[in-house]
Each structure stands twice: as C-alpha cells, then as structure tokens.
Amino acid sequence: MKKILIVDTETTGLDPTDGAVVIELAGILFDVELRDVVAQCSVLLPSETNGAESVNQIRPELTRSAPRLMAPMLKAFYAMAYQADYAVAHNAEFDRKWFVDGGRLPALGLQWICTMDDVRWPRNTKRGRPSVVSLALDYGVPVWSAHRALTDCVYLAEVMKREPDLTRLLIEALEPRKVYVAMLPYEKRQQCKDAGFVWDQIVAKAWARKLRPSEAEQLGFPVREAAV
C-alpha cells in the first residue's frame, strides 16, 4: 500500500435517491510510506438549494459563485484517484454512495477503507466509532473548524502522520468483517454504545457492528452473526 486518496463530501441531504446532491468535494492524495501529503484539492458543486445548510454552513449562492472552476478541479480530483491504491473516508458508507457512474461524480474504481469503522486507532478514547474531530483531538491535532470537506480530510491526514503503525492498521482494515448483533437487554444499551454498536442502522431495530470474528470473541458480551 503506497498511496491513498482521503475523500470527504458535503451534501444537501442524506440520500441521493431522495434528490440530495454533493455540493462540496475534497480529496488529499496521501503517501502512506512517506507519511505525508502529495496533493490536495477542494471544489464546490453548484446547487440551487441546500437542505443541510445548518450543518455544513454552505450557502447555495456560494456554490454558484465560480462555475468555471468545477471542471478543472474535478479533473484534478480524479487524477489523484488514478494515483491511489485505495479510497479512504471517515464514514465511507456515506461518502461512497455519491460516486456512481452516470451520476454527478463517477465511480472511483477503488476499494474503500472506512477510518471510522474499519481502522482500530490505538489512541481512540471513544471506545466505539470516533468522530473525525474526536479522533483528531486524541492524536493532538488542532481542531479549528468542522463540516467542510477539505478540513475533515486535513484532520485525517494529520492523524495518519502521527500514527506510527499506519500501514499495519490500514492493511488490517481490509480484512473481511461480518455483521454482529448484540444480545443484551435494553437496560444494558450503554454497553452496546461503548463497544461501538449502532442502533437501527446496520440491522433494523438492533444494536449491530461490523467486526472480525476474533474481535467479536473479545467483546465480553454475547453476540450473534446477522444475515445482511
């Protein structure tokens, strides 16, 4: 594993099937062996509305203020993707679904690694799934802003610079995982949260998480494998 493309998007909603679109795209080409940034870019994509403006603070009129930049910046982004071995994102399940051939952002043609679910960060103090901001703070990365695409990419790049076992962690993140459901009563739901299980997201009306079989055996409470 030599280079990865750190990716983040800002969107007008949660689901492209409901009409939401990407309004900001950012990427950083990161050299894993040299532990540093090779190239980076960020671009706004035009939109008439932004249903998530309260979250990402991107005004629709801002997305339309420099339309001639979109084509060359997208070309630069995909040039970086061509140099990468893997695409990496914090909550990759969300970002990956916006890259579809025939859509606004063509598919990257890369296997994805999720830094929230797949990578077991040694300094993570949240027990379960860390936010990109909490992970940055755990690694001593200064936090100055949130919810803009390039900012979150920079946080991840800075975390990776500080992690001495980065190559091993990324390779382990590629190992197959299964979905497990926690077999705990309602009054012990905090134990599920602390172990990184999420409610009603991976499996309907259940606490679930993707784990390697060896990780499931070390949880300290009963789980069952889910068919998804």
pLDDT tens digit sequence for 185-217: 999 999 999 888 999 988 999 999 989 888 898
Residue 144 clears pLDDT 90, i.e. is over it: no
State residue 40's pLDDT score: 98
Q: Are 113 and 88 in contact (CB under 8 A)?
A: yes
Residue 61 CB-half CA count within 13 A: 0
Q: Are 207 and 182 in contact (CB under 8 A)?
A: yes
User: Residues of 41-79 as b/e, b for ≥16 C-beta within 10 angstroms?
Assistant: bbbbbebeebebeeebebebeebeeeeeeeeebbebbee
Averaged pLDDT score across all residues of the chain: 93
Comparing 7-11, 17-21, 153-157, 158-162, the range with the smallest average pLDDT is: 17-21
Residue 125 clears pLDDT 90, i.e. is over it: no
In angstroms, rounded to a whole number, what is the distance separating the alpha carbons of residues 178 and 175? 10
Identify residue 105 by its one-letter amino acid code: L
Q: pTM of the full predicted structure?
A: 0.86
